[in-house]
Structure 1
Amino acid sequence: MPNERRDNAGTSGPRQEHTPEQLLRIIFEYTAKIAHERSLDSVLLLMADMGREMILADRCTVWLIDQTRGELFTKVAHGVEHIRIPLGSGFVGHAITAGEPLLVEDAYADPRHNADNDRKTGYHTKSVITVPFVGSDGSIIGAYQAINKQTEDAQFTSADLERLVLAASYAGKSLESVMLHEEIAATQRDIIFAIGEIGENRSKETGNHVKRVAEYSYILAKGYGLSEEEAEQLKIASPMHDIGKIAIPDAVLLKPGKLSEAEYELMKEHTEIGYTLLRTSGRALLNIAATIAYQHHEKWDGTGYPRGLRGEEIHLYGRITAIADVFDALASDRVYKKAWELGRILALFQEERGRHFDPQLVDVFFQSLPTILDIRDRYND
């Protein structure tokens, strides 16, 4: 079975059953933590820890349903890739299909046991409890599964089943809320990316351009020291940097040769157009996108546009996206030019350190170059 949340279980001998006071403390501590989490991964790990501790199991897994693929999946601890099994497979599949909790004293004596993971890991599943999670509309969204009791008799009891049902009741609503939040966030990300592609497609760029700029921005943000959450927000918002191009005439946007002075002034308007389109939203991601659209053509020395901002007057998001966007523009074929060789690009970045670009971010760019080049090759047009 999956090796989700084992920690130090199974290394200190048999354990004693919890007193009612200890059980209440576990419930209150974990439900408080779960209620304040917005990350699905974190909620799943807390729920697994809560279930394992409540009934003294060796391992506890939280399974979710992927209706699209007809599978059950669980995200496991310590960065290991998640596990997927067919929807009706094993004890967990049976409990979800039947919509009823399941207590099995001897897994290998039960034909429903899926021993594939035991064979892969060398782990031996003995007793199992599985409890479905029910959503607010009455539909089943997943299940708890606890494996191998850690008391001296090594057997789960009906009291353990009741406790895991209680844990599922406490944590299930929070799980559903976080899943809904992540679904909304994923939809928002998809919409932002799709709109970003519209702006690039008007200028004959491929969708890979916005993917690369997003990935470069994330790497630069992390290298600069931003948190995972902030770097991820920048990655999601950066595809909107050129959305203002939707309002630039084709005669200017698609011109293969050098733009006239008047055409260049018209092209520059895409920054203010993009900002105007995005700035009125109350959503944090779109506010970030508005800032990026407005400032990604500003330059460190104050010679950029549209406002001629200088140094740290330019928002960090704009400074990061500027490097990501310029690198991709130079490293890719465009309607008006062929891609530059890498050596020429790197020489330009050294030359523009402290002029076009934030010097510290240029240093981060060079430190992150192997990862950036890997992204370029992975999303090559």
Structure 2
Amino acid sequence: MKDRNHLGNIGLIHQVNIIENGLIDIPMLQVLQPDGSVHSKADLPEITEHCALKILHTMQYIRLLDERMVAAQRQGRISFYLACTGEEASTIGSAAALEPQDMIMSQYREQGALAYRGFTTKEFMDQMFSNQNELNKGRQMPIHYGSKALNFMTISSPLGTQIPQASGYAYGQKMAGLDAVTICYFGEGAASEGDFHAGVNMAAVLDCPAIFFCRNNGYAISTPSEEQFAGDGIASRGIGYGVRTIRVDGNDVLAVYSATQAARKIALEHQCPVLIEAMTYRLAAHSTSDDPTGYRSKDEEERWRLKDPVLRFKTWIDAKGWLNKEQNLEFIEQTRQEILKELKLAEQVPICPIEQIIEDVYDTPPWHLKAQLAELKTHIKKYPEAYPKTSGRL
């Protein structure tokens, strides 16, 4: 049996609860109460005014982006969108605790982490409109972001695939002797995929410096967590695989920030994985293709609105004397105008020429890809009304 003595309390920061094998009770780290005040027994993490304001502004930015892009989808301007509303503290608070060299592997609702790293409004819009300025040449569906420059791995649609990939990437970081970890985001629904078990077990056995970050928002689309599993959330699974585990209030950005700082420190010092389960709630629909009124009540939603992560953190910053309310209102208005401006610009940019669809696979496109391209062109010419942005350029 491999020596697991490193599963003790080394690296314990503040009230981060590092769980060892055999424990049944899984406590939850909290720093801020829903009203924005500090819990009486909580230790505040070390955070600068600059960092705190950047986190708040990113949270506000993402909420405005979500609002505008859901409306854009309803107007038929984009085909699909996934909002982060209600989960901003989980994604942005964790990203703020990382270093730029750390790799982020996302599921699909982590646009806040990408924005915190510097992804611009123009880059968001180019991706969602799949135009020729998009970093991946418009070949991904909307919200499948990626940025090599920001160490943000391109999102793929199948649930859970990024989990074993994160283990492998973190193992590579370890073998290269890098001062870096890989963080992998996923929902509690994705933790029901086989890739979760394979990936977490791989990281545990090979001692990979990976942070597995589960956003437990209570629903796998329309399926509530109590119908997904009988165990105690996802944290208990980390314990079962011999992985150091932290459960945190996912609507408390300071708790998330503190937990992720601790996880990164432990992952690097001991070259081992850490699992974080952030207990949060998805206030928005699962996606623009979803209607949550069919599976949850308005009363339930309103109870969680009282725990709004943005308002909670803003209240704490204001109490610290770090918030200039006039400047903050100006920031919100400028951001709203910037989003609208870049949206209008991006939807006017053409998509890539259809010939490019067979590039970047082989040095020279082989005969069978050329044949498929010819068939595609024939199909588009036959049904031009179905491809208005493409057919006119064939």
Superposed pair shares fold, TM > 0.5: no
Q: Which has the higher contact order (CA 8 A, sep 6+)?
A: 2
Please tell me whether Structure 1 or Structure 2 has the larger radius of gyration of its CA atoms: 1
Under a length normalisation based on structure 1, what TM-score does the superposition of the two structures give? 0.25
Under a length normalisation based on structure 2, what TM-score does the superposition of the two structures give? 0.25
Higher helix share: 1
